[in-house]
Amino acid sequence: MTAFVKVLPSGHEFILEGRSTLLEAGLRAGLALEYGCSNGNCGKCLARLVSGDVQKARHHDFRISEQQKINGHMLLCCNTTDSDVVIEAREASSAHEITQQHLTARVRDIRIVSDDVALLHLKTPRTQRLRFMAGQHVMLGGNDLPQAHYSVASCPCDDMNLHFQVPRSEQDAFSEIVFGDLKKGEKVDVTGPGGEFVLDEESPRSPVFIAWQTGFAPIRSLIEHAMSLEVVESISLVWIARNKDHRYLDNLCRSWNDALDDFSYVPVDADVRQDYLDIINVLTRQLGIGPDDLPDHDFFIAGNSGLLDHCQKALSANGLPVEQLFTDSLIHA
């Protein structure tokens, strides 16, 4: 069963398959729909059916008034459809519109993937998920745990499973706990989201992502989000690390490169803290993006201040407009 859903006033469209709720299908398609509990309690996903029919997928405790029902109001998290519909729903158009949340998740898995990086998987309660935009960060810890900020390294479309790439650092007590005592099932508080390192979804330009080591965390979230948006024509990724071992998800990037026609992945060995890195040369020779092509792309760069300074200067000197450059230095690099 496949249905087309059009959202007003944005004009966004997505496909709903099977018995997914309107909310689940919209999030999977990369839309930043307004919602809270995902469970029929808070009413934040209240939307209006403009045309077509919906069917109730689950019971809800949130009370919709008789007048609202007459006007076509229904909850996106509790309704599905088997035919084409037009709905009027609230969507965030910028990171500022996502409200701060505080929730307690549990450790689902910790995987040490190199001598100084751990992949941390947290699972939220079904009734208290994290609404965020790809590329944003949160604060982990609190109560008995030290606190630290990390970028969410997963897609907002899977809001119960939050993934993080934690670099080990003596200055970051939370990371020492991840590499030491933190166990599966333990509670971790999550507060956020924050940050404006998000895609410009109205941009007609193709994105180029540049990551330094664990700067790959927000970049992975952005790439997975960009993949879910059908408007993105091509995606380029440059992952710079001291050596191959520090590109701890190299296989994932290669699988994107192999599976997707319009995806290009370039691994680069360099230590941006010491070495000279000719990013223009990398872009030109390995991605075919010369100085004349820069205005056709948006650049998303996540890494330490050395990488950000270097790339900013090089790209600006070659004519990249400043509004096409997005940077994130919120990592322990």
Q: Does 26 bind ligand FES (CB under 6 A)?
A: no
> What are the φ and ψ backbone dihedral angles of 322, each rounded to 5 degrees?
-60, -30
> What does the block give as tokens for 327?
């940077």
Residues 304 and 201: their CA atoms lie apart, in Å, by 25
Span from 33-41, 111-119, 192-200, 306-314 in contact with ligand FES (CB under 6 A):
33-41
Contact 112, 118 (CB under 8 A): yes
Among 37, 98, 311, 320, binds ligand FES (CB under 6 A): 37
**Smaller CB distance to ligand FES: residue 116 or 159?**
159
DSSP 215: G
Nearer Cβ to ligand FES (28/44): 44
Q: Minimum Å distance from CB 95 to ligand FES?
A: 19
Contact between residue 120 and residue 166 where contact means Cβ atoms under 8 Å apart: yes
Nearer of residues 45 and 162 to ligand FES, judged by Cβ: 45
Give the interface size with ligand FES as a residue count (CB under 6 A). 13
Quick one: 63 or 183, whose CB is closer to ligand FES?
Answer: 63
In degrees, rounded to 5, the angle at the alpha carbon of residue 149 between the alpha carbons of residues 147 and 153 is: 130
Q: Which amino acid is at 155?
A: C
Cα dihedral 158, 162, 165, 171, rounded to 10, equals 150
Nearer to ligand FES, 42 or 112 (CB): 42
Which residues have a Cβ under 8 Å from the Cβ of 281 and sit 6 or more positions away?
none
Q: Does 44 bind ligand FES (CB under 6 A)?
A: yes
Q: How large is the greatest C-alpha to C-alpha distance in the chain, in angstroms?
A: 67
Whether 235 and 263 have beta carbons less than 8 Å apart is answered as yes
What amino acid occupies position 127?
T
Q: Is 130 in the site for ligand FES (CB under 6 A)?
A: no
Q: Which of 14, 22, 29, 38 binds ligand FES (CB under 6 A)?
A: 38
- Given candidates 4, 6, 43, 186, which one binds ligand FES under the rule CB under 6 A? 43
DSSP code for 220 = H
The residues in 52-111 that bind ligand FES, with binding defined as CB under 6 A, are 62, 75, 77
Judged by beta carbon, residue 41 or residue 312, the one nearer ligand FES is 41
Among 40, 195, 215, 218, binds ligand FES (CB under 6 A): 40
Selected range binding ligand FES among 38-46, 134-142, 171-179, 198-206, rule: CB under 6 A:
38-46
Whole-angstrom Cα distance, residue 147 to residue 227?
32
Residue 240 engages ligand FES in binding (rule: CB under 6 A): no
The site for ligand FES (CB under 6 A) is made up of: 35-38, 40-45, 62, 75, 77
